C-alpha cells in the first residue's frame, strides 16, 4: 500500500476510543481525603474517679515548767512522742477547664471538686512511764477530711490525638485533727493528775502531678492522672485541765501546755472522662 501521508482511519479510531478511558483513569487517582486535625482548644467538663494513699505525720511537745519530780523527765518525753498514720481510700468527683493550643503545645487551667474521705486514728496506753514510779498516760487522736478542691494550670505536648501534660497549683480540704491525753498518778491518791485536748483545722495546701489524655472519638476525651497533695498548718495548743494539786506529778503539771503540729499528704491515682464543649 502506498503511504500518501494520510493517517489511517484505524489509528484515528483507536485514539478516539482511548481518550475517555485515560480520562477515567485520571479521575480515579484523585488524592485521598485527610481526616480533620483534632484541636485541644476549648472548654470541657467531666467526671473522675480513683484512689488515694493518705499519710499523717504528727509531732508534739509538752511544756511543764513546774514539773520537777523524778518521774517528770520520762513522762514529758513520753508525752512528746509524735504519731504517724497511713490509710487507703477512694476518691471521685467533677472537673472542668479550658485549653488553648499553639501548634503542638497545649496550655490550660483545670479545677476539680471531689470526695476525699480520710478517716485515720490512733490510741495508746495506759502506759506506765517510769516504773516503779506510778506515773502513766493514755490517749487517742484522729484526722478526718471530707472533700478536696484543686485549681491547677496544665502544660503539655499534643501528639496526634494524645496530650501529655504536667500540672500543679492550689489545693484545699477540710482537714480536722484532734487529740486527747490523760496523765495518771498513783492509784488511790491522784488517779488523774492532768488532761489535755487539742483541735486543729487545716488550711490551704498545694498539688503537683501529671498525666496523659486522649481523644479516641468525637468530642470525648479520657485521661489517666497522678496527683500529690500536701497540707500543713494543722497546729494547735491545749492547756492542762483537771490538774491535781500536790502529789509527785500532779502539782508539777499545773500550768503545762501541749503543742502539736500535723502534716497531711496524699498520693492520688485516678481516671477521668471529659466532654469538649
pLDDT given at position 236: 92
Return the beta strands (E) in the chain as ranges. Answer: 42-63, 83-102, 105-116, 119-130, 133-144, 147-159, 162-173, 176-184, 194-201, 205-217, 220-239, 257-276
Distance, in Å, from the CA atom of 56 to the CA atom of 87, rounded to the nearest integer, reads 9
Strands 119-130 and 83-102: unpaired
Report residue 68's pLDDT band, with 50, 70 and 90 as the boundaries. Answer: confident
- Identify which of 53-67, 83-97, 194-208 has the greatest average pLDDT: 83-97
Instruction: Establish if 23 belongs to a structural domain.
Output: no
pLDDT given at position 125: 79
Instruction: Establish if 21 belongs to a structural domain.
Output: no
Instruction: Establish if 25 belongs to a structural domain.
Output: no
Confidence check: pLDDT of 219 > 70: yes
Confidence check: pLDDT of 244 > 90: no
Confidence check: pLDDT of 16 > 70: no
Predicted confidence (pLDDT) per residue in 22-51, tens digit? 544 555 566 665 556 789 999 999 999 999
For residue 153, give Cα distances in angstroms to 68, 253, 267.
Answer: 55, 51, 19
The answer to whether 159 and 213 have CB atoms below 8 angstroms apart is no
Give the number of domains in the chain: 1
Distance, in Å, from the CA atom of 244 to the CA atom of 252, rounded to the nearest integer, reads 9
For residue 218, give Cα distances in angstroms to 123, 158, 225.
Answer: 54, 16, 21
- Identify which of 65-69, 137-141, 177-181, 272-276 has the greatest average pLDDT: 272-276
The answer to whether 78 and 67 have CB atoms below 8 angstroms apart is no
Confidence check: pLDDT of 257 > 50: yes
Across the range 254-266, mean pLDDT stands at: 92
Instruction: Establish if 29 belongs to a structural domain.
Output: no
Give Cα 67 to chain centroid, integer Å: 43
Domain boundaries, position 86:
38-276
pLDDT given at position 12: 47
- Identify which of 33-47, 65-79, 134-148, 237-251 has the greatest average pLDDT: 134-148
Instruction: Establish if 3 belongs to a structural domain.
Output: no
Instruction: Establish if 221 belongs to a structural domain.
Output: yes
Instruction: Establish if 19 belongs to a structural domain.
Output: no
Instruction: Establish if 212 belongs to a structural domain.
Output: yes
Report residue 262's pLDDT band, with 50, 70 and 90 as the boundaries. Answer: very high
Distance, in Å, from the CA atom of 1 to the CA atom of 138, rounded to the nearest integer, reads 128
Percentage with pLDDT > 90 across the chain: 58
Predicted confidence (pLDDT) per residue in 189-210, tens digit? 557 788 999 999 987 999 999 9
The answer to whether 241 and 184 have CB atoms below 8 angstroms apart is no
Report residue 217's pLDDT band, with 50, 70 and 90 as the boundaries. Answer: confident
Amino acid at each position: 500500500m502506498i503511504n500518501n501521508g494520510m493517517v489511517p482511519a484505524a489509528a484515528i479510531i483507536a485514539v478516539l476510543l482511548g481518550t475517555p478511558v485515560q480520562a477515567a483513569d485520571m479521575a480515579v487517582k484523585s488524592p485521598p481525603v485527610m481526616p480533620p486535625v483534632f484541636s485541644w482548644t476549648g472548654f470541657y467538663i467531666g467526671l473522675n474517679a480513683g484512689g488515694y494513699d493518705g499519710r499523717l505525720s504528727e509531732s508534739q511537745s509538752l511544756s511543764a515548767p513546774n514539773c520537777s519530780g523524778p518521774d517528770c523527765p520520762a513522762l514529758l518525753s513520753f508525752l512528746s512522742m509524735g504519731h504517724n498514720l497511713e490509710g487507703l481510700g477512694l476518691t471521685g468527683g467533677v472537673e472542668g477547664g479550658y485549653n488553648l493550643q499553639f501548634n503542638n503545645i497545649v496550655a490550660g487551667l483545670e479545677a476539680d471538686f471531689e470526695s476525699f474521705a480520710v478517716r485515720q486514728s490512733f490510741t495508746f496506753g495506759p502506759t506506765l512511764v517510769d516504773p516503779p514510779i506510778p506515773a502513766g498516760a493514755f490517749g487517742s487522736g484522729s484526722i478526718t477530711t471530707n472533700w478536696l478542691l484543686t485549681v491547677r494550670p496544665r502544660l503539655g505536648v499534643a501528639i496526634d490525638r494524645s496530650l501529655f501534660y504536667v500540672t500543679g497549683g492550689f489545693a484545699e480540704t477540710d482537714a480536722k485533727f484532734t487529740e486527747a491525753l490523760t496523765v495518771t498518778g498513783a492509784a488511790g491518791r491522784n488517779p488523774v493528775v492532768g488532761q489535755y485536748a487539742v483541735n486543729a483545722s487545716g488550711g490551704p495546701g498545694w498539688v503537683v502531678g501529671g498525666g496523659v489524655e486522649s481523644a479516641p472519638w468525637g468530642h470525648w476525651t479520657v485521661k489517666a492522672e497522678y496527683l500529690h497533695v500536701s497540707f500543713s498548718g494543722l497546729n494547735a495548743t491545749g492547756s492542762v485541765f483537771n490538774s491535781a494539786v500536790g502529789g509527785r506529778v500532779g502539782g508539777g503539771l499545773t500550768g503545762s501546755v501541749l503543742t502539736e503540729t500535723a502534716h497531711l499528704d496524699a498520693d492520688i491515682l485516678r481516671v477521668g472522662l471529659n466532654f469538649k464543649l
